[in-house]
Structure 1
Amino acid sequence: MLKELVKEEFTQDIAKGAVLVDFYSSTCSPCKMLAFILKDIEKTLGDQVTIIKVNFEENPDLIEEHKVEGYPTLVMFKDGEELSRKSGLQQKPVIIKMIEEAL
């Protein structure tokens, strides 16, 4: 499942199961490329992982809380605990490995 962040639901959304969070900026070219990769991954693994997109500009409190220093940044959560983090544009095999390690 791929969804845009609803701020009030963030903590609830990451609390259960495997959740990949994409911290992105709408003006960032690598972020736009990553969005296509994530849509492709969602088609393949959508029933096993939730992917949440968090807009950097609209959510400064979440950016600070999760110590995100740049974009794009992917953070993999399992039952609310951060398992791994990757900054910059990542290729599909790297992202799939992050997800598989959380399953």
Structure 2
Amino acid sequence: MAIVSASDQTFQNEVSNGTVVVDFWAPWCGPCKMIAPVLEEIDSEVGDKLKIVKVNVDENPESAGRFGIMSIPTLLVFKNGEPVDKIVGFQPKEALMGTINKYL
């Protein structure tokens, strides 16, 4: 599955089914740029069991505000539309997978 972008309008639809990791990011954020290729790697390995959605916090403040996103990158793990876990800041792939695997 490919990584998709969501807006405030499409957010709920994107996270409604299965396991979804939402990356709250911004183009000016250095750690966000560092985590992007890690997420692409995860997507290529487990994309059939996991959906990855990116939300630009500058363009979609409503979604970021609804989930109390105070620093980026923040990854929220959703299971069938409900947030079940949170990862704040850059983490290596192994740490991300340790969290994600709990919900696959």
Q: So what's the TM-score if we normalise by structure 2?
A: 0.94
Cα shift at 1:99 = 1.6
Cα shift at 1:25 = 1.0
- Percent identity of equivalent pairs: 35
Gaps of 5+ in 2: none
Give the aligned partner of residue 3 of structure 1: 4
**Amino acid in the other structure paired with 2:65:** E
Task: Say whether the 8 Å CA contact 2:6–2:14 is kept in structure 1.
Answer: no
**RMSD of the TM alignment (CA)?**
1.0
Cα shift at 1:81 = 1.2
Structure 1 runs of 4+ aligned residues shifted over 6 Å read: none
Gaps of 5+ in 1: none
Give the aligned partner of residue 77 of structure 1: 78
After superposition, the C-alpha distances for 1:39-63 in whole angstroms (9 at most, x for unaligned) are: 0111101111000000010011111
Partner SS, residue 9 of structure 2? helix
1:60-99 mapped onto 2 (5 Å cutoff): 60-99=61-100
Cα shift at 1:6 = 3.8
Cα shift at 1:67 = 0.7
**Amino acid in the other structure paired with 1:79:** N
- The number of residues matched between the two structures is 103
Provide the rounded CA distance (Å) in 1 between the counterparts of 2:57 and 2:7.
13
